[in-house]
Amino acid sequence: MDERAYAIMMRMTIHPLFLPILFSIVLSGNISYYALILSSLIIHEVGHIIAAYLCGVKVERCVIMPYGGEIELKGNNSIAPKKQLVIALGGPVATICCIAATPFLDPLLAEPVLKIQIVLLGINLIPIWPLDGGRIIMSLIHIFYPRIRMVEFYLTISLILIAVSVFITFILLPKTLFLLVLSIFLFLQIVNEWRFRKYRFAFEKHVIKRLT
C-alpha cells in the first residue's frame, strides 16, 4: 500500500448513525458478525477509492455509513460524469468480488459473508440518491441527457420513494426503528440535493463544456 492509499485509510471514520448498530451487535455477543459487517463496508469503500485512484481523482475522506459509505472527492462537482460513473461502480464491483470469493471460504464463514454482501449490494443498488444506484443513474443522466428537468424528475422520484419508505417503516415500528432512521437520513440527503440542484447542475454543465 503506497503512502496515498495509507493516508486515505487513516481518514476513514464511522458515521454516528452506524454506531447504534455496532453497539447492538456487540451487546448481542456476536462480535464476529460485527467484524464481518464492518470489514464488508470497508472493502466496499476501498472499491470506490481504487476506482477514484484509477480515474486520477483524489479522495479527501471516507465515512462508513450503515448502507456503505460516503467518500469526499477533491473537486467533487468538477469531476467528469464518466469518472463519477466509474467511481460509483467501484463499490458494487468490490462487493461482487467478495460474493465471487465466498465459494473458496470455509462453509461456516461463507454463509454469513454471502448474506452480508447480498444485503449490502442490494441496498446500494437501489436507484435512490445518494446510494450507489442513485449516483450511477445521476452520472448516466449527465452523460446522455444533461437537462435540469431530467435531474429534477429523478430527484422527485427518489424523494417520493424514500418518503414512502419513511411512512412504511414508521407504521411497522418498533421492529423497523433502524430502517426508519436510515430512511429519514436518506430523505434529508435528497432534500439537500434538491435545494442546490440548479446551482450544482449549472456548475457541472459548465465544467463539462470546458472538458469537451
Q: Quick one: cell of 91?
A: 463499490
pLDDT band at residue 148 under the 50/70/90 scheme: confident
- What mean pLDDT is predicted for residues 27-55? 83
Over residues 171-186, the mean pLDDT reads 81
Asked whether the whole model's pTM tops 0.95, one would answer no
Q: How far is CA 86 from CA 55, 62, 65, 161, 208, in A?
A: 8, 17, 20, 25, 16
- Tell me the domain boundaries of the chain: 3-211
**What value does the mean pLDDT of the chain take?**
80
Q: What is the pLDDT of residues 113-143, one digit of tens each?
A: 999 999 889 988 989 888 899 999 999 998 8
19 C-beta neighbours (distance < 10 Å), count: 11
- Residue 198, CA atoms < 13 Å, CB-side half-sphere: 1
